[in-house]
Amino acid sequence: MTTIPINTTRQMKQKNIMLVASTLKSLSSATKGDISAQTGLSLATCGTILNELCSKGEIIEESIDESRGGRPAKRYIYNSNYFSILSIYIEGNDTSGVISSSLRSADGKTIVEYDKIYTDLTEDTLLAQIQEFADKFSNIKAIGLGLPGVIVDGKILTCDITCLEGLAITELLSNRFGVFVQVGNDMNYTAFGFYRNHCRNINEPIAYIFMPPRHCAGCGIVISGKMLRGASQFAGEVSKLPFYDNLGSKINSHYELVQQRLIYITSSLIAMINPVTIAISGEHISQNCIAELSAQLLKKFDCKHIPRFVYRDDIKYDYHNGISEYTLDAYNNFRVFEI
Cα radius of gyration (the chain): 23
287 found inside a domain: yes
226 and 294 assigned to the same domain: yes
Q: Are strands 180-185 and 308-311 parallel, antiparallel or unpaired?
A: unpaired
Q: Into how many domains does the chain fold?
A: 3
50 found inside a domain: yes
Q: Are strands 84-92 and 140-147 parallel, antiparallel or unpaired?
A: parallel
Which structural domain range is residue 63 located in?
A: 9-78
193 found inside a domain: no
Instruction: Find all residues with CB under 8 Å of 39, minimum gap 6, and list them.
Output: 16, 19, 20, 23, 46
1 found inside a domain: no
* Per-residue confidence (pLDDT) for residue 248, from 0 to 100: 61
Cβ-contact 106, 78 below 8 angstroms: yes
73 found inside a domain: yes
Cβ-contact 246, 264 below 8 angstroms: no
Residue ranges in the chain whose pLDDT is less than 70: 1-7, 63, 65-71, 247-250, 337-339
182 and 324 assigned to the same domain: yes
121 found inside a domain: yes
* Per-residue confidence (pLDDT) for residue 2, from 0 to 100: 45
324 and 182 assigned to the same domain: yes
Tens-digit pLDDT profile for residues 225-249: 999 999 998 999 998 988 877 766 6
3-state secondary structure of 179: coil
Last-in-domain residue among 78, 109, 134: 78
